[in-house]
Amino acid sequence: MKKLIVAAFLLLASTSLFAQCPYKYGATEEDSLKCLEQMTNFNMFYKAKNYTDAYEAWQYIVQKCPCAWDGIFTNAQNMFDALIKAEKDSLKKEQLIDDLLNTFDIRSNYFPNKFSKGYCMGFKAYNMLKYRGKQLSKDFNLIQDNLNLFIQSVELEKEKTQPAIWDAYFRLAEQVTKATKDTSIVIESYGRATDYLGISIDNAQVQYEKAVAEIDSLTELYNKGLLDGVNYDRQTKALGKDTARQMKYIVNYRKSLSKIEKSITPYASCQVLEEVYGKKLPQIKDDLSAVNKIVITMSKSENGECVTSPVFKEALEILHKANPNRSSAYWMGNLSLRSFTKEKDPAELDAAIDYFTEAVRMSETNEQKGDANYMLALAYQLKNSYAEARSAAYAALKAQPNMGKAYILIGDLYANSYGRCGGEEIPAACAWAAADKYAKAAAVDPSCAEKANQQRAKLRFPSKEELFKRGLNAGSSYHVGCWIQENTTVR
């Protein structure tokens, strides 16, 4: 009977003004004392994993003083998961599931700063799928309702959507797609995921890098004797926890995105995306958020084949003209670079340089800065602006020290520099400098080792006789002049 009363209370609270909690600990002093007692009981039993007794205390708190402590909702999922798993009586099990689901209807009313509506919608849909999956599979209307609940949650939470919600949402979208043969359902869910998860990862990366930079600053102050050990330990400990938390977010978000990207492959060939988005784009061209999803989804197509699509180009141009951002500038630069390699129009190369420079300026994370600077270096290389290309490549390496392809690019610049140095250097000098960069590329980035070794194999070094004629010895130091201005080793 008590469980039925709790369920009825939860349902009433979700639709009434009572959810505003006129009394935090109860209407009377006696209620307040009883509430505090039950909060203590709940906390004690919950920590001891005595969930049956914790549930008894939980029932009292949620009836009499639900605004007293957000922990009764924060800890509800673990408690109910354990109780539902242990319960053998099917009717009691269903009642526990009802109680859990109902908590998501009310918790945002009691603690709106802790539990947003989007968060609650998402986890209600998640638990519906988890505990009522068989019932959903028998009624397509229920499946559709649950899918819509996920969609509402994601569109409210956006980049704050939890990885568990993404996994469940995409799994259900796949199920509905298979049942209806409507690929637009799973493609739209993929568009949301690539858009919002990308922002989630970037935001967590920014916070992670900020905390790391603060730790480095504190360490420098400590080493200079400008910060005492107690404060140094206290502050770095707090920042260390923050970096661990942000890295956990990054890892989990990337796992979710990776799983979704693998799952979308059967549904989202470039041909399908062109067909779906080609029809949709004219209707939603004023909705920049929707256009952005098209751009991101097509940019992540397998083997990058969709970036040459007219639909992708049209969507990208709409987005960049109306609301330029790092991503749109980066892809506009890519399109201009592709156009230059195909048509050899110098104006396209200049446009690519401008776009990549814009992308560099708007980049926030080291990954973004590294990628944008590398593409800028490539564009300058194609323009035969070697000094500018090297500067951009070193900027990429500053952001991503293990970017082997940036060292390879610098090596290529050096390898091709003898002719432009006007005979100032012996023929092999530029090759020696290039060899250093290829060796560095292989050392910092094993994935580039094969390419680096291939490039190094193309270099031509002088024979012992040639070195002797020039008064040089293998292994000795040599300064390469011209625009390179680096020390290398005679080979």
Which CATH number do you get for residue 370? 1.25.40.10
The answer on 128 and 104 residing in a single domain is no
* Whether residues 126 and 109 fall in one domain: no
CB of 422 closer than 8 Å to CB of 403: no
Residue where a domain stops, chosen among 352, 383, 401: 401
Domain residues for 200? 117-261
Q: Please give the tally of structural domains in the chain.
A: 5
Q: What percent of the chain has pLDDT over 70?
A: 94
How many whole angstroms separate alpha carbon 192 and alpha carbon 163? 13
Residue 439 CB neighbour total at 10 angstroms: 16
* Residue 341 and residue 395 in one domain: yes
Domain-embedded: residue 62? yes
Same domain, 100 and 126: no
Beta bridge partners of 488: 478
List the one residue out of 408, 400, 456 whose CA is nearest residue 432: 456
Residue 438 lies in a domain: yes
Same domain, yes or no, for 249 and 328?
Answer: no
**Judgement on whether residues 293 and 361 belong to the same structural domain of the protein:** no
Q: Residue 199: pLDDT band by 50, 70, 90 thresholds?
A: very high
Q: Quick one: 104 and 184 in the same domain?
A: no
Mean pLDDT calculated for residue range 451-476? 87
Give yes or no for residue 268 having a pLDDT over 90. no
98 plus 128 within the same structural domain: no
Boundary-marking domain end, from 98, 115, 132: 115
In a domain, 319, yes or no: no
pTM: 0.77
Task: Identify the burial level of 460 via C-beta atoms within 10 angstroms of its C-beta, where 0-12 means exposed, 13-18 middle and 19 or more buried.
Answer: exposed
Q: What are phi and psi of 480, to 5 degrees?
A: -90, 125
Show the beta-strand stretches assigned E in 33-132.
none
Confirm if 371 and 384 have CB atoms less than 8 A apart.
no
- Asked whether 168 and 125 are in contact (CB, 8 A), the reply is yes
Q: Are residues 123 and 253 located together in one domain of the fold?
A: yes
Judge whether 406 lies within some domain.
no
- Domain-located, residue 355: yes
- 285 and 420 together in one domain: no
In a domain, 317, yes or no: no
pLDDT at site 281: 92
Q: What is the pLDDT of residues 239-248, one digit of tens each?
A: 999 999 999 9
Residues 248 and 331 in one domain: no
User: Where does a domain end: 368, 401, 434?
Assistant: 401
Under 8 Å CB-to-CB from 382, ≥6 apart: which residues? 337, 340, 341, 349
Phi, psi dihedral angles at 488 (to 5 degrees): -140, -170
Q: Tell me the pLDDT tens digit for each residue of 141-163.
A: 999 999 999 999 999 999 999 99
* 55 and 159 assigned to the same domain: no
Higher-scoring residue by pLDDT: 26, 456: 456
Query: Residue type at 375?
Result: M
